[in-house]
Each structure stands twice: as C-alpha cells, then as structure tokens.
Amino acid sequence: MARGKNQEGSQFVRYFGPLLDALRKLGGSGTPDEVAEQIGMGPSDSVAVLTHDVKFDEPAIVEALRRRARYVGAVGSRKTQADRRERLRAAGVTDDELALLRGPIGLDLGGRSPAETALAIMAEVVAVRHGASGGAMREKARAVEAATAAEAAMAVF
C-alpha cells in the first residue's frame, strides 16, 4: 500500500498494486522504486504489503525501508517473516532497517475475517503514527490512576 491525500489533505493508505498497474499502462516499468518516486514516498508514509508474492513484496519493502517510511509492515506467518528477513538481509537490508519492518502486522484484536484483519492493520498504522502503544484505553487509565495515587501518597510524607 502507499499513501495519498484526501480532500482535507490528511493522509490515507491506498493499495500499491493498482499504482504498479497504472504505471505499467503508462509505459513505465511499474517497479516499487518507480512508484515510490511517482507518489513521493517518504518518512510520513505508511506501507503495508499484503500481496503474498515475493517478487512484489520484497522490492516494495526494500524501497519503503530505504525511504524511511514511518510504518513498513508485511503480512505472513512467523515462518514467512523469518524467511523474508533472511532474503532481505541477503539483498543488503541492514539489521537496523530490518528492525523497522513489522510482521506479522496488525494489532491483536482477535478478529478472523478480512475486514477485521484490515481493521487490525489500520489500527496498528494509526498507533505507530501517533506513537501510541495500541493497548486498551482502560489499561492506560488504570496506570494514570495508580501513578496519581502513588504521587498523592508520597505527598503525605
């Protein structure tokens, strides 16, 4: 996926695949680096690779990592992730760059349907964008309450 702008100018995510197809129809190679250049991919962008096709996935991941996209993630099992990381390492991706790659992607919401999977992925993208944990708000509220109570107890002494 790659980012675009809606009418209000805020960022949203759109599929990388149709962008590749559109560039090919215009006579371009439609390679991930060409698409990234065309859309101006950079550090404020989020890229979620969903294709399960190594010949598309890995070049897109490499390009997103090189352009320092804010969020770079790819679907796949733990074994797929491990195999992918080995291939990316062999292709010259550094351990520091690999540390930025998320996968399997999405927050653990317990969903199983495609729509629930998409929601879990987008929830993780939003959490990363805002530097949030992605945890339950209830847990955050309890932590704040506990810290406030501890501060109040210390003030008594």
* CATH classification of the domain holding 117: 3.40.50
The pLDDT of residue 80: 94
Q: Which residues lie across from 73 on neighbouring strands?
A: 48, 102
Q: Out of 94-98, 106-110, 142-146, which region has the weakest mean confidence (pLDDT)?
A: 142-146
Arithmetic mean of pLDDT, 77-105 = 95
pLDDT confidence bin for 19, thresholds 50/70/90: low
The pLDDT of residue 92: 95
Q: Write down the residue that tokens 């993630």 correspond to.
A: 73
Q: Write down the residue that tokens 């501060």 correspond to.
A: 151
Arithmetic mean of pLDDT, 108-116 = 92
The pLDDT of residue 39: 79
Q: Which domain holds residue 9?
A: 2-156
> What is the token pair recorded at 93?
């991706």
The pLDDT of residue 53: 84
> Is the confidence at residue 10, as pLDDT, over 70?
no
Domain count along the chain? 1
* Range 92-101, long-range pairs (CB < 8 A, 24+ positions): 93/61, 93/62, 93/65, 97/65, 97/66, 100/65, 100/72, 101/61, 101/65, 101/72, 101/73, 101/74
Q: How far apart are CA 148 and CA 1, in angstroms?
A: 42
pLDDT confidence bin for 29, thresholds 50/70/90: low
Q: Which residue has the higher pLDDT, 48 or 27?
A: 48
CA distances from 87 to 74, 90, 97, 130 (A): 14, 5, 13, 31
Question: Beta strands 2-5 and 11-14: pairing type?
Answer: antiparallel
The pLDDT of residue 56: 81
